[in-house]
């Protein structure tokens, strides 16, 4: 193997020329016409290093000759370390041996190898060469001990990943109002407008102003797969639409909301990018207000679950319709499209609440949400919506921890046969992200003692789903598309 790059401790500015070096290798001088035969015979005794040619021009200037480089474990003319097959081939063909110098530079080594040669020895064990990709942006989360070298690290990451144009570092905790990370550019273009493809959809957004986590791709797909094309879905904390867009394209009727006006703006733009028409309605409201507003708007729209239209069985291509066996036999009747049923109350099949830090706190909005609708919802175990609420837990018994927190906020017990807790990912050594899914219990949905926490009494006012202290009239803030 090519040895690691020369140690260059203490650099604060990247000097790529410092990594130029040469390596000596044994080589076979052969006629050019014999190249393929030689390569097949040598196998793994030939130099097999990435980014380095193992067949080069001959050092004697003869254009009809080539040098085939041997691996670096073979360094003597007696071919110690080579296989017997290789030795016999060289002897049988009368091939001359020589020494060749291989030039190696900065481009040869990986980001991890370069960083290990640059960073102080005491912090190289966890050299920060990993990152999350968001379109053309590499998003890093550097620990404090690496910050003096952040510019150097960013440039190495940019050099070693040609698909990237910008490297950024998280500089603070997540923004408390709109749930996006504060960050700084370490290397490359100062361009935060990312374009991403996920779940068959296109997403465009300002990564510095909205929340996006590419690691949640699997979770987005998992929930969307639960939805039937005929379902009505309410996405309470929708961001730029990673649940809403694919659900809409699937055929669902989707009402999506985010308090962050920038997320709202890009959700509207992404609706256009994905050519979604009338089955996606977008809002810019407080999470609690949106839950009630979406239920009201869905009812006012008169939306009903689409009825599947039966189709006649298909025969062979080009085959004529079967004829009656006798003159008196009735002719086949064409399928009739069922008429739409009379208007009746319809609510959402699913609510998605993807704000793990505080989503549970918004569940109090469901208490008494359907008070007075008891007669219109005669089968609550079927007609009341499923709620999918993301959250964090540090408990050794997350099932009990999450369920008890949900019940405390909603002011009632969940129906255990409908509850499922799904592990999403680990976010810290003792902190995991989960999604609890459950059917809204009738005793909570129809409760008469509606108890909603005031914004001044809850941390929700400082989150993306909650409403901050108003500084302008509600009429001035965009509400729906």
Place of tokens 């255990």: 416
Q: Are residues 135 and 96 in the same domain?
A: no
For the chain, the domain total comes to 3
Q: Are residues 349 and 399 in the same domain?
A: yes
DSSP letter (8 states) at residue 295: H
Q: Are residues 249 and 279 in the same domain?
A: yes
Q: Are residues 382 and 260 in the same domain?
A: yes
**Cβ–Cβ contacts within 10 Å for residue 50, how many?**
8
CA distances for 82 relative to 27, 56, 102, 397, angstroms: 12, 20, 20, 58
Residues 6+ apart with CB under 8 A from 380: 440, 441, 442, 445, 446
Cα–Cα distance between 236 and 355 in angstroms, integer?
9
Question: Residue 409 maps to which CATH number?
Answer: 3.40.50.150
SS3 34: helix
Provide the residue range defining the domain that includes 180.
Answer: 129-191
Q: Are residues 173 and 236 in the same domain?
A: no
- Residue 31 in any domain: the answer is yes
CA distances for 143 relative to 133, 170, 173, 254, angstroms: 18, 10, 13, 40
The per-residue pLDDT for 461 is 42
CA distances for 344 relative to 134, 298, 301, 373, 450, angstroms: 44, 12, 11, 11, 25
**Cβ–Cβ contacts within 10 Å for residue 141, how many?**
14
**304: its two tokens:** 């009903």
Exposed, middle or buried, 283 (CB in 10 Å: 0-12/13-18/19+)?
A: buried
Question: Residue 66 maps to which CATH number?
Answer: 3.30.70
Cα–Cα distance between 373 and 350 in angstroms, integer?
18
Q: Are residues 279 and 387 in the same domain?
A: yes
Question: Residue 156 maps to which CATH number?
Answer: 3.30.300.110
Residues 6+ apart with CB under 8 A from 205: 193, 194, 212, 240, 262, 263, 266, 270
- Residue 453 in any domain: the answer is yes
- Residue 404 in any domain: the answer is yes
Q: Are residues 429 and 285 in the same domain?
A: yes
Q: Are residues 70 and 100 in the same domain?
A: yes
Q: Give the angle subtended at the CA of 222 by the CAs of 219 and 227, to the nearest 5°.
A: 130
Q: Which residues are annotated as a binding site for S-adenosyl-L-methionine?
A: 220, 258-259, 286-287, 354
The per-residue pLDDT for 183 is 86
Q: Are 21 and 4 in contact (CB under 8 A)?
A: no
- Residue 228 in any domain: the answer is yes
pTM of the entire structure?
0.77
**359: its two tokens:** 């989503």
Q: Are residues 84 and 25 in the same domain?
A: yes
Q: Are residues 276 and 183 in the same domain?
A: no
Give DSSP secondary structure letters for 189-215.
----EEEEEETTEEEEEETTTS---GG
At 418-442, the pLDDT tens digits run 999 999 999 989 999 999 999 999 9
Cα–Cα distance between 298 and 427 in angstroms, integer?
36
- Residue 200 in any domain: the answer is no
Q: Which residues are annotated as a binding site?
A: 220, 258-259, 286-287, 354
Cα–Cα distance between 179 and 239 in angstroms, integer?
9
- Residue 462 in any domain: the answer is yes
The per-residue pLDDT for 129 is 85
Phi (first) and psi of residue 328, to 5 degrees: -85, -10
Q: Are residues 181 and 219 in the same domain?
A: no
Q: Are residues 396 and 296 in the same domain?
A: yes
Q: Which residues of the chain have pLDDT under 50?
A: 311, 318-343, 452-477
- Residue 425 in any domain: the answer is yes
- Residue 81 in any domain: the answer is yes
């Amino acid at each position: 193997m090519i040895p690691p790059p020369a140690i260059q401790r203490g650099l604060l500015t990247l000097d790529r020329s410092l990594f130029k070096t040469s390596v000596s290798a044994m080589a076979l001088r052969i006629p050019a016409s014999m190249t393929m035969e030689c390569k097949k015979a040598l196998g793994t005794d030939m130099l097999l290093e990435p980014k380095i040619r193992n067949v080069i021009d001959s050092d004697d200037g003869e254009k009809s000759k080539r040098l085939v480089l041997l691996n670096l474990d073979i360094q003597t003319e007696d071919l110690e370390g080579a296989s017997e097959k290789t030795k016999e081939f060289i002897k049988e063909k009368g091939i001359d041996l020589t020494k060749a110098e291989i030039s190696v530079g900065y481009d040869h080594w990986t980001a991890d190898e370069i960083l290990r040669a640059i960073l102080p020895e005491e912090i190289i064990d966890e050299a920060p060469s990993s990152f999350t990709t968001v379109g053309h942006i590499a998003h890093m989360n550097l620990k404090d001990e690496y910050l003096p070298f952040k510019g150097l690290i960013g440039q190495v990451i940019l050099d070693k990943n040609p698909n990237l144009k910008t490297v950024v570092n998280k500089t603070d905790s997540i923004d408390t109002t709109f749930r996006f990370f504060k960050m700084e550019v370490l290397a490359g273009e100062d361009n935060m407008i990312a374009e991403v493809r996920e779940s068959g959809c296109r997403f465009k957004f300002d990564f510095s102003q909205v929340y996006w986590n590419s690691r949640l791709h699997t979770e987005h797909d998992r929930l969307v797969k639960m939805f039937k094309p005929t379902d009505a879905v309410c996405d309470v904390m929708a961001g730029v639409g990673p649940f809403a867009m694919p659900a809409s394209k699937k055929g669902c009727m989707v009402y999506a909301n985010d308090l962050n006006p920038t997320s709202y703006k890009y959700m509207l733009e992404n609706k256009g990018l994905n050519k979604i028409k009338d089955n996606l309605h977008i809002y810019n409201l407080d999470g609690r207000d949106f839950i009630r507003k979406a239920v009201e708007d869905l009812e006012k729209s008169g939306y009903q679950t689409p009825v599947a239209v039966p189709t006649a069985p298909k025969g062979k291509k080009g085959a004529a319709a079967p004829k009656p066996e006798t003159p008196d036999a009735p002719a086949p009747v064409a399928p009739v499209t069922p008429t739409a049923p009379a208007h009746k109350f319809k609510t959402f099949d699913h609510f998605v609440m993807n704000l793990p830090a505080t989503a549970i706190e918004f569940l109090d909005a469901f208490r008494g949400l359907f008070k007075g609708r008891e007669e219109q919802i005669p089968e609550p175990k079927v007609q009341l919506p499923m709620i999918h609420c993301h959250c964090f837990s540090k408990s050794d018994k997350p099932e009990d921890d999450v369920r008890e927190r949900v019940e405390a906020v909603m002011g009632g017990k969940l129906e255990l046969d409908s509850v499922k807790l799904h592990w999403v990912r680990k976010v810290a050594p003792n902190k995991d992200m989960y999604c609890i899914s459950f059917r809204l219990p009738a005793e909570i949905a129809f409760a008469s003692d509606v108890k909603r926490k005031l914004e001044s009494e809850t941390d929700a006012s400082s989150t993306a789903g909650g409403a901050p202290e108003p500084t302008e009239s509600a009429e001035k803030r965009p509400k729906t598309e």
